[in-house]
Amino acid sequence: MKNIKLTIQYDGTRYKGWQRLGNTDNTIQHKIEKVLSELTTENIEVIASGRTDAGVHAQNQIANFKTNSNISPNDILDYCNKYLPKDIVIKNVCEISDRFHSRYNVKEKVYTYKICNNQIHDVFTRKYSYHIPAKLNLEKMRNAAQFFIGEHDFKSFTALKSKKKSTVRNIYSLDINENSGNVDIIIHGNGFLYKMVRIIVGTLIEVGLGTIDVNELPKIMEIKDRSKAGTTAPSQGLFLTKVIY
């Protein structure tokens, strides 16, 4: 049996997220599994590095699947890109060690959140950025970003309901770059909780708009209460940029 690794790019706009669901076929996982199952005549299960939410995009999602088929990686690549919807692209296919697991072997991830901070939104990027017409104070946001770096309990910054799963994560860097009103918030860490990136971004946005004071962040982190942090930023601005093994 072969273990096949996929590098995937997708526009999440019209999908209900990565994960296969029982009440709809409109997920990234289902679309890819359907095409691969047709190609191999097997019941293929594709495992991703993580489950992106509805509306979230990926530049380099990593996934793997097992198959008894002898179809070459190049033929898998060609077939998938011929029959998948045009908003899902397989960028690379390769055979990999049987021990490789796209989710369990992840060491680090990088996410990018895109904001259009001009008074008038750009019609060509509106599906891929969050439009905020009010001017953001980027200096305050960069100061606030420093509080997230390092190992912390991010319970205040997740929508995770489970009380059994650890909410401790390590953020290695959090950079905020701006060019002509286009703001990129780039977060690099060892892992992220459910909606954690979008809640951190929403909190930083509120700092930038002056509704949360920078000095409140240590207390918000310490209190471990989701209701004390900022709002959840919309999904369309979020991209899974890189997965590191």
Catalytic residue set: 53
SS3 (DSSP) at 144: helix
With CA atoms as reference, report the closest residue to 229 among 170, 164, 175, 155: 155
Which residues in the chain belong to E strands, given as ranges? Answer: 2-10, 47-48, 57-67, 88-96, 108-116, 130-131, 150-153, 168-179, 182-189, 238-244
H/E stretch holding 39 reads helix 28-40
> CB–CB of 98/5 below 8 Å?
no
